[in-house]
A and B are shown apart, each in its own frame.
Chain A
Amino acid sequence: MAKNKIKIGPAERAFDIFNVIFMLLLCIIMIYPFYYVVIASVSEPAKLMAFDGVLLAPAGFSWGAYSAVLGNPRIWTGYSNTIFYVVVGTVFNIFMTVLCAYGLSRKGLMFTRLVTVMVVFTMYFSGGLVPSFLVVKGLGLYNSRLALIIPGAISTFNMIIMRTAFAGVPDSLEESARLEGASHLQILWKIMIPVTMPTIAVLILYYGVGHWNSWFSAAIYLRDGSKYPLQLYLRQILIENQIGDMSQTSASDDQALLAETIKYATIIVATVPILVLYPFLQKYFVKGVMVGSLKG
């Protein structure tokens, strides 16, 4: 044992061992449900149904649930719609949020306080479903893809985060740019956005995941199934399977049995693609907010 190492007494050792075991158990408790979903989704429905105890490996092996979910042509329509909503929606969200936040973060803008109060007001009070619906319908957005993008263009909460980030940028950065003769647009584009990139990355994630998961406004504002996002289709698959279950007259063929594993395959299909987004944004979280912006 090296001399300069701190000696570990038996009590501490016991604590460490216990600690590791405890944490491992905790991890297993957290991870098992996810693991279960994965292995259940590739199990044979009949075997899964008859299985008794804790499932550690797939009960039988079958891609049946996946081929049923992915073989449904509506899934692919849903996927492409969702990608459209996520990409276009998020770009639009970020654009609008940044513009609004930049304006409100500038000192000396007229009525800043009043506008801020009005904006924050909407965080606590909303008009309710029916008035929102009537507004969207009145604007001619009903049954249009834009109904999922325009009404929620700015999330107040995210806008305030963005404003705070802009306000936190040292004035000297802006002043030096002004001395060089930069306009507001140039300051926003060349200085503010690069400096606050980590915040923007977080907002991209918030908005992107929000669009990915959203189904309610689609259910309310869209009539054509061809415009539905993925989540609404998946919800439909799950509910229809349940209805078949409850109607008591569902047929007893192998396809109907699949309902058992379809719900798990659906969860995988719905979550895996958005998980892919995280690693790409990871680097912005690791870097400090102000890294590289100021020297000396």
Chain B
Amino acid sequence: MSIKKVSAAVLAVAMLAAVTGCSSPSSSTPASSGSSSTAPASSGSTAPSGSSEASSGADGGSESVYPLSGDRKLTYWMGVSVSHYNDDNAKLPLYQELMARTGIKIEFQHPAVGQEQETFNLMLASGEYPDIIEAKYLPAAQLLEDEVIIDLTDVIPQYAPNLYNYLKEHPDIDRQVKNDDSQYLLFPFIRPDPVLQISSGPIVRKDWLDELGLGMPETIDEWTTMLTAFRDQKGAEVPLSFDSSGNLDRLMYAWETVGDFLNENGTVEYGYLRPGYKDYLIQMNKWVTDGLLDPNYPTATRDILNTNILTGKTGATYGSGGSYLGVWLTSKPEEPATFDLCGLKYPVLNKGDVNYHGSNVQFEYSDANSWLMISSQCKDVEAAARFLDYGYSDEGHILYNFGIEGKSYTVENGEYTYTDAMFNDPEGKSISDAMGYYLRATGSGPFVQDPSYIMQYYQTQQQKDALTNWADQQHKSTKMPPIVHTTDEATEFTNIMNDIKTYIKEEQVKFIMGTRSMDTFDDFINQIKSMKIDRAIEIKQGALDRFNAR
């Protein structure tokens, strides 16, 4: 009896909580959407829309006049999260503005974060697709074959003049976006500038360099001198340290090799089979023996690396400008007060050498960033294409990169500057969350990223300098372009490479730690060869040839 009463009471309280709980977020959203709802009225319909007609008209092709006429509605499957504080992108000022300007109403479908792949598969199983699909890493070719998405080869010239003209002006990028059959399947995210493509590089203690009068080391020998000085004069226990994400291998570039497949003027090679790899192992082994390189590098966690850097156990490492360099600069220890870090160029063997692989340069288009497709069930392909194409227009470029004038950016002398509200959000949101309300430059999407975004996004001078340091370096382009394997190739390739990668990873540690003698290096190479590496290279070569023939 009493249970019944209690459960009824609890139920009532829970219902009450549910009702009041539900009402609180909706009462807070008008604050943000209310402020934004004035924006479309002020900026959406006046000056900028006029300029868009002018610019898109000048581009030629079939001109897009925004907003589109009629009652246009689309569903949009959003496989990436834009802003942490938001359940529905349609409420974001960015998308309200986009909807107002294009005249297309968008209904978003958000999968739960972390379950994107699963939710996508279930959606395919259910047989109901949205009009627009935005995602990363999906097998576009397979989706086309299964008739989930449509071929955009004819759609883009017809309904997406801005993107079409951009690709025509940039044949290099055009080649990356097309597939091997010269079809367009997607609307790409494009990073046209090296400072956007590069995000990481070597990092050292600047104050130690200055104090020891070492200058910026350029060669491996200068690195040895620097690390020895760190060890002897600054008491660094492990002068050179890494976390377990494999960043040590970045130093391999100095010996003209790369820990991956590389593209040597159109010929595919496997970096571990190049002669420089042995010299690299010998040098690393020497550093470990001399107490310069942290022997825990294969297992050290990010937390350990953080502690090492911040407590002065380590003076040199490798990391990104944001979550490594930036985080360390922000959490600068009180002692010593001079604590400072800077980005270094990648080391080379002899002074003046051109770095073999350079600064981890990526291509303008990469499937690691999200891209967009139009589904086979889309009834209004024109509206979908025009909506996505807006991001490549002059006006859309500003909207996706900088947001809304007066709210998220201001213009002075043609320079776009983010407003202070982006960096010091009144509600205490982080910079990327605050920006996520108005723009998508912090992530990816259907537009061309603007280089001035990153220079403002990085808060400290050290980060900006580091980025230019890493990006400026002369290098040979030996990186594999975004090639595509067929399904069969991919399976065979993965089978071969899983074994080889595991083998190399295990043996490399043994060589560097000195538990395996360098005398057995030839056996090591022969073992890799016997694991059918030639077939893997052949597969890569085939895909590269097809890419070059596009």
A residues near B, CB below 8 A?
A: 45-47, 49-52, 67-68, 71-74, 76-77, 79-81, 83-84, 86-88, 91, 129-130, 133-134, 137, 215-216, 218-220, 222-226, 228, 232, 235-237, 239-240, 243-258
Q: Are A45 and B24 in contact (CB under 8 A)?
A: no
Please list the 9 inter-chain residue pairs (A to B) with the smallest Cβ-Cβ separation, ordered nearest first: A252-B326, A80-B21, A225-B87, A255-B430, A46-B331, A219-B112, A248-B320, A50-B310, A251-B431
Residue of B nearest to A130 (CB): B125
B457 at the A/B interface (Cβ < 8 Å)?
A: yes
Q: Are A219 and B119 in contact (CB under 8 A)?
A: yes
Contact of A77 with B21 in the complex, beta carbons under 8 Å: yes
Q: Are A72 and B85 in contact (CB under 8 A)?
A: yes
Measured between beta carbons, the chain A residues less than 8 angstroms from B310 are 49-50
Q: What 10 new A-B contacts, CB under 8 Å, besides A130-B121, A245-B323, A252-B463? A: A74-B25, A87-B14, A218-B112, A220-B118, A224-B87, A225-B87, A239-B113, A249-B442, A251-B322, A252-B330
CB neighbours (8 Å) of A240 from chain B are 81, 84, 113
Q: Are B320 and A74 in contact (CB under 8 A)?
A: no
Residues of A contacting B322 with CB < 8 Å? 247-252
User: Are B11 and A91 in touch, CB under 8 angstroms?
Assistant: yes
Measured between beta carbons, the chain B residues less than 8 angstroms from A237 are: 84
Determine whether the beta carbon of A244 is less than 8 Å from that of B118: no
| Across-interface contacts of A51 in B (CB, < 8 A) | 307
CB < 8 Å: which of A80, A87, A236, A244 contacts B11? A87
Q: List 10 A-B contacts (CB under 8 A).
A: A49-B310, A68-B428, A77-B25, A79-B17, A80-B17, A84-B14, A86-B14, A216-B115, A240-B84, A250-B432
Q: Residues of B contacting A84 with CB < 8 Å? A: 14-15, 17-18
Q: Is B148 an interface residue (CB 8 A)?
A: no
CA–CA, A236 to B111, complex, Å?
11
Identity of the chain B residue whose Cβ is nearest the Cβ of A86 in the assembled complex: B14
Give the contacting residue for B323; candidates A87, A129, A225, A250; CB below 8 A.
A250
B320 touching A249, Cβ below 8 Å: yes
The distance in angstroms between the C-alpha atoms of A250 and B328, with both chains bound, is 13
> B78-90 CB contact bits vs A (8 Å, 1 = yes)?
0001001101100
| Chain A residue with the shortest CB-CB distance to B434 | A255
Q: Which chain A residues border B137 with CB–CB below 8 Å?
A: none
Name the distance in Å between A253's Cβ and chain B's nearest Cβ.
5
Q: Name A225's contact: one of B88, B122, B125 (CB within 8 Å).
A: B88
Given A71, A236, A256, which contacts B428 in the complex, CB threshold below 8 Å?
Answer: A71
Task: List chain B residues, Cβ under 8 A from A258.
Answer: 430
Out of A47, A133, A225, A252, name the residue touching B459 (CB < 8 Å): A252
Partner of A77, one of B22, B200, B323, B326: B22
Q: Are B84 and A249 in contact (CB under 8 A)?
A: no
**How many Å lie between the Cα of A86 and that of B501 in the bound state?**
46
Residues of A within 8 A of B46 (CB): none
Residues 35-49 of chain B, each 1 if its beta carbon lies under 8 Å from chain A, else 0: 000000000000000
Asked if B168 is at the interface (CB within 8 A of a chain A CB), the reply is no
User: What CA separation (Å) do A225 and B89 show in the bound complex?
Assistant: 11
A82–B1 alpha-carbon span in the complex (Å) = 26
| Chain A CB within 8 A of B480 CB | no
Cα–Cα distance between A5 and B423 once the two chains are bound (Å): 74
| B14 lies within 8 A of A83 (CB) | yes
B18 adjacent to A81 (CB under 8 Å): yes
At the interface, yes or no: B419 with Cβ under 8 Å from chain A?
no
- Closest B residue to A244 by CB, please name it: B432
Q: Are A236 and B112 in contact (CB under 8 A)?
A: yes
Interchain CA distance A76-B18 in the complex, whole Å: 9
Are A80 and B112 in contact (CB-based, < 8 A)?
no
Q: Which of A80, A137, A235, A247 contacts B113 (CB 8 A)?
A: A235
Q: Are the C-beta atoms of B330 and A253 separated by less than 8 Å?
A: yes
Q: What A residues does B307 contact at CB under 8 A?
A: 49-52
Nearest CB in chain B: distance from A235 CB, A: 6
B473 at the interface (CB under 8 A from A): no
Q: Are B326 and A129 in contact (CB under 8 A)?
A: no
Counting CB contacts under 8 A, is B433 at the interface? yes
Quick check: is B7 within 8 A (CB to CB) of the other chain? yes
Chain B positions within 8 Å of A226 at CB level: 22, 25, 87
Tell me whether A50 and B311 are in contact (CB under 8 A): yes
Return the chain A residue nearest B311 by Cβ: A52
Shortest Cβ distance from residue A144 to the other chain B in the assembled complex, whole angstroms: 15
B491 contacts A by Cβ under 8 Å: no
* Complexed CA–CA distance, A45 and B430 (Å): 15
A145 nearest in chain B by CB position: B18
Is B28 among interface residues, defined by CB-CB distance under 8 A?
yes
A255 to B396, CA, bound (A): 29
Residues of A within 8 A of B109 (CB): 223
Q: Which residue of B lies closest to A53 (CB)?
A: B307
List residues 333-351 of chain B with CB under 8 A from any CB of chain A.
333
Query: Which partner residue on chain B sits nearest A218 by CB separation?
Result: B112
Is B113 touching A255 in the complex (CB atoms < 8 A)? no
Q: Mark B273-317, 1 if CB is under 8 A from A, else 0.
A: 000000000000000000000000000000100110011000000
Q: A50-B307, A248-B322, A250-B323 are in contact. Are A133 and B122 (CB under 8 A)?
A: yes
B110 touches A251 (CB 8 A): no
Looking at the assembled complex, report how far the CB atom of B370 sits from the nearest CB atom of chain A, in whole angstroms: 12
Chain A residues near B530 (CB-CB < 8 A): none
Give the docked Cα–Cα distance between A204 and B333 (Å): 50
A253 touches B442 (CB 8 A): no
- Distance (whole angstroms) from the CB of B201 to the closest CB of chain A: 11
B20 sits at the interface (CB 8 A): yes
Q: Is the CB of B122 within 8 A of A248?
A: no
Residue pair B459, A253 in contact (C-beta under 8 Å): yes
Per the bound structure, the CA–CA distance linking A129 and B125 in Å amounts to: 10
Cβ < 8 Å to A, chain B residues 6-31: 7, 10-11, 14-15, 17-22, 24-25, 28
Report the minimal beta-carbon distance from A18 to chain B, rounded to whole angstroms.
Answer: 34
Cβ B18 vs Cβ A83 within 8 A: yes
Contacts of B110 in A (CB 8 A): 223, 225
In the complex the two chains form, what is the Cα distance from A251 to B320 in whole Å? 11
Looking at B10, B199, B429, B432, which has the most chain A CB atoms within 10 Å of its CB?
Answer: B432
- A243's nearest neighbour on chain B, judged by CB, is B81
B126 lies within 8 A of A137 (CB)? yes
Nearest to A246 among chain B residues (CB) is B323
Check A134/B125 contact, CB under 8 A, given A91-B11, A220-B115, A253-B423: yes
Check B21–A79 contact: CB distance below 8 A: yes
How far apart are the CA atoms of A49 and B113 in the complex, in Å? 27
Residues of A within 8 A of B138 (CB): none
Chain A residues with CB under 8 A of B121:
130
Judge whether B248 is part of the interface by a CB distance below 8 angstroms: no
Give Cα A245–Cα B323 distance, bound, in whole angstroms. 6
Distance between A129 CB and nearest chain B CB, rounded to angstroms: 7
Inter-chain CA distance A87–B199, complex, in Å, is 48
* Chain B residues within an 8 Å CB radius of A252: 322, 325-327, 329-330, 458-460, 463
Of A86, A232, A248, A257, the residue contacting B331 (CB under 8 A) is: A257
Least CB separation from A46: chain B residue:
B331
Closest A-chain residue to B310, C-beta based? A50
Please report the C-alpha to C-alpha distance between residue A84 and residue B16 in the assembled complex, in whole angstroms: 10
Tell whether B454 is near chain A: CB-to-CB under 8 Å: yes
- Assess whether A257 is in contact with B327, with CB atoms less than 8 Å apart: yes
CA distance A54 to B11 in the complex (A): 45
Asked whether B200 lies within 8 Å of A248 as measured between CB atoms, the reply is yes
Contacts of A91 in B (CB 8 A): 7, 11
Most A-side CB within 10 Å, residue of B111, B322, B327, B431? B327
1/0 per residue, CB under 8 A from A, across B96-112: the answer is 00000000000001111
